Structure formats: C-alpha cells, structure tokens
Amino acid sequence: MDVLTVINTFDGSEEAVKPTPGGRQRRLNEDNHERQQTKKIHYSGGGRIPTIGCKHTSAKCFCQADRLTPDDLVMNFQKFHDKPNKVEQDAALLYLMSVSEVKRQRQNDENRQKGRNVTVKYSLLWDEHPNKLPVCKATFLSVLGISKDRASRVAQYYAETAEARPERRGGARNIEGSDSRRQLIINHIKTFTCRASHYGQAYYSRQLYLYLFGVVRHHGENSRQPKEDVHLYVWQENQGPKDSNMIASALNDCFIVRLASQIRRSKGLRLFSDSC
Ligand SMILES: [Zn+2]
C-alpha cells in the first residue's frame, strides 16, 4: 500500500499518513499526551472547544461559517470567555445577536406565559473587525461553546426588557485557569489539518502515476523485434492525462514523425491494440 505524506500546514513538518485497512480510530499513546489533556478538559465540561457546527457555504447560504479561520474561532471564544462575569458575557452575546419579535395577530394568555416569540439572527466576529459575519445558530453555539438554552434565555430576556440579564447566580464566576485552557484550545485547533485546508493551501505529497504508451512495429510471424521498432511515449500524470486525446496525439506523432517514410512505402497499415 502506498504511504502518503501530509505536510502539516501549521508548522510545515511532514508526517507520514498510513491508510489503515480496519478503520480510522486512533490508538492512544504517549505522544498524544497534549491531545489527551485537551480531551480531558473538553469532556469534563471545564472547557469547551470552539468548532464550526455546520457545513454551510457562503456561496449557497446566508451562513458564512466557511469564511471563519481557526484564528477567528479562537478569537470569538476567547473574547467571550474572558469576560469577567456572566452579565458581561450576556452583553457580549447580545452584541452578536439581533433579536426581533415575531408579531402575532392574537396573543392569548398562554402565549404570554411561554414568553414572547422572537427571531434571532446570529453573527460572529471575524478578521475584518468590527464587521460581523452572519452565521447559523448551530455554528454560533458551537464556536462560543454555549448551550442553545442559554442563547434563547438571553434573547428572551432582551426581548422583554431590552437589556442584558442581571446576575442571578451570586457574583462573578470563576474563570480560573483560562490561560492554560486557552493554550490547550489553540493547540487543539492546530491539529485540524483537514479543516485548515479549507482556508489556505494544503500540500501533500505522494507518488505520481507514470503513464506509458508503446507502439511496436511488427514484421510478421517469428520476425525479429529490434529496439528500433519500439516507440515508447512516457509521461507523468502532472504532465498530462491518460485519455484518448493523449493516445491519439502519441499515435499521430508516431505515424507522421517516427514512421512516416516507412508508412509511405508500405501498401497497407494494420493496427492492433492489446487494450491495456
Ligand atoms: Zn451554518
């Protein structure tokens, strides 16, 4: 089996990629310590990893998630989680949420109890600050690492009071260890080689196909076959495709350049192909 080599676009180092026949599950080992640390924090709920939560493309959808770079993800996550308390976090959310009320013709008591019907448009910060990038709810939540309940509570409260929610949980929340967590997140995002290929150029190396088209002039049964009667056309896949046009060009060259005089002198031409 071929061994592919993938160049990590972040630090330029090469790592060999071996296709595995039995599945893609990574085996845990010591070298993955950093990754394991990231996972540990991730699964313990102590920290979340900003990720894009959808597959929307800006060409086809209002959601511009595919324009966010890994740096943008970290920036959004950091700016949000570095806020000293929940009130400021909620205010930051509102800066990125455009809340509008859905007007209902009739609003009975039941509706009022459930809260207002609001629509929310979400956006995230990106490179061209202060312009914001519209995104779908899924990506908004997954990049900031918040629950959909929290987002809708903030939107609901804003719709009713036109302000961010006051603190209801007893003072500033502890954001201890945010520096080490930030570094873990950055390290983790740097492992997203596949995702990175979206944003910049991705390089990879592998063996190239070598194509060969051979024309052998045959002199009849049991005749000798000197090397002068063998014409080989050889090219690499980066030089041209292996298609009918290329084969016809090679054959044309053989007839009108290599074998022109012999063909002119002959009375007939019979072509055989072993079709390989
Ligand atoms: Zn989206």
Q: What is the pLDDT of residue 188?
A: 79
Q: Residue 105's pLDDT band (boundaries 50, 70, 90)? A: low
The answer to whether residues 38 and 184 touch, using CB atoms and an 8 Å cutoff, is: yes
Domain layout of the chain by residue ranges: 1-46+178-207, 49-175, 210-265
SS3 269: coil
Q: Could you read off the pLDDT of 130-155 as tens digits, one per residue? A: 789 999 999 999 999 999 999 999 99
E strand or H helix that includes residue 160: helix 148-161
pLDDT for 13-69, tens place per residue?
455 555 555 554 555 555 566 665 654 444 333 467 889 999 999 999 999 999 999
- 35: tokens are 């990754």
What are 165-202's pLDDT values in tens digits?
Answer: 776 655 444 455 666 777 788 887 777 655 444 455 55
Q: Give the distance (Å) from ligand 1 centre to CA of residue 151.
A: 16
Distance from residue 56's CA to the centre of ligand 1 (Å): 5
Q: Report the distance separating Cα 276 and Cα 274, nearest Å.
A: 6
Separation of CA 57 and ligand 1 centre (Å): 7
pLDDT at 162: 73
Residue 162 Cα to ligand 1 middle (Å) = 27
Ligand 1 midpoint to CA 134 (Å): 9
Alpha carbon of 126 to ligand 1 centroid (Å): 15
Return all residues near 245 (Cβ < 8 A) that are at least 6 apart. none
